[in-house]
């Protein structure tokens, strides 16, 4: 409703300024809207992941280039998942990444406020539902907090295989989701707000 109101307001302002008919002013206002959508091309590093025993497609944000060496980062993820074999919070990540499983009913994409606060503080951890893991990784010049996010689509709705998306914590939400997630607050149990 607000978008329509804003559009009508801009059309009427143009009408008042130019004396055009409503339809002509509308055409001009709609023509002024930006039609391009910014796209971030993720880098496919699945070829590096497969020899390490990672069984899903892996893509990396371009901002990771020069920060960490991809093979070392993926090795550290694999080792962390193997070392925590009895941790139920990482069961989903382990099943998809190391066993190649495709969950028929993926968990809701929920980022609780505690997880977001840990990311902001540079601590890391696992999100509610286990679809995201933030891990400190030895970088090329310093340690970097890296976010590993599982893109899961229910088998019922799509034949797309799960994908592991990797980004540094400062670029994770914008390069993976196209939004500034760390500036948002989450409502526990309801997803993003």
pLDDT at 41: 81
pLDDT at 153: 74
pLDDT at 187: 36
Q: How many domains does the chain have?
A: 2
Question: How many Å apart are CA 45 and CA 168, to the nearest integer?
Answer: 15
User: pLDDT tens track of the chain, all 193 residues?
Assistant: 466 778 888 888 888 888 888 888 888 888 776 555 666 788 999 999 999 999 999 999 888 888 899 999 999 999 999 999 999 999 999 999 999 998 877 666 667 778 888 888 888 889 888 888 999 998 878 888 999 999 887 656 666 788 999 988 877 655 555 444 444 443 343 343 3
In a domain, 63, yes or no: yes
pLDDT at 3: 67
pLDDT at 182: 43
Residues 83 and 136 in one domain: yes
Question: How many Å apart are CA 15 and CA 62, to the nearest integer?
Answer: 45
Of 40, 50, 1, give the one whose Cα is nearest residue 171.
40
Residues 17 and 94 in one domain: no
In a domain, 38, yes or no: no
In a domain, 182, yes or no: yes
Residues 27 and 116 in one domain: no
Long-range contacts of range 65-68, CB-CB < 8 Å, 24 or more positions apart? 66/140, 67/139, 67/140, 67/141, 67/144, 67/168, 68/137, 68/138, 68/139, 68/140, 68/144, 68/146
Residues 9 and 68 in one domain: no
Residues 20 and 95 in one domain: no
Residues 23 and 99 in one domain: no
Residues 87 and 7 in one domain: no
In a domain, 26, yes or no: yes
In a domain, 144, yes or no: yes
Residues 63 and 92 in one domain: yes
DSSP code for 177: I
As given in the structure block, the two tokens for residue 99 are 């066993």
In a domain, 37, yes or no: no
Q: What's the gap between Cα 92 and its chain centre?
A: 17
Q: Which domain holds residue 15?
A: 2-32
Question: How many Å apart are CA 56 and CA 164, to the nearest integer?
Answer: 7
Residues 98 and 21 in one domain: no
- Is this structure's pTM higher than 0.75? no
Residues 99 and 15 in one domain: no
């Amino acid at each position: 409703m607000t978008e329509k109101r804003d559009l009508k307001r801009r059309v009427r302002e143009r009408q008042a300024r130019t004396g055009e008919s409503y339809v002509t002013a509308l055409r001009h206002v709609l023509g002024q809207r930006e039609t391009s959508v910014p796209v971030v091309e993720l880098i496919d590093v699945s070829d590096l992941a497969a020899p390490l025993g990672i069984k899903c497609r892996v893509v990396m944000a371009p901002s990771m280039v020069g920060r960490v060496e991809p093979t070392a980062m993926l090795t550290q993820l694999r080792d962390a998942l193997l070392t925590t074999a009895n941790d139920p919070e990482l069961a989903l990540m382990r099943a998809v990444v190391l066993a190649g499983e495709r969950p028929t009913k993926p968990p809701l994409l929920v980022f609780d406020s505690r997880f977001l606060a840990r990311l902001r503080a540079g601590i890391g951890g696992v999100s509610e539902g286990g679809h995201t893991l933030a891990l400190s990784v030895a970088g090329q010049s310093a340690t970097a907090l890296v976010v590993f996010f599982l893109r899961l689509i229910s088998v019922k709705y799509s034949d797309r295989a799960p994908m592991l998306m990797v980004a540094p914590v400062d670029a994770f939400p914008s390069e993976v989701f196209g939004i500034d997630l760390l500036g948002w607050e989450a409502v526990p149990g309801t997803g993003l707000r």
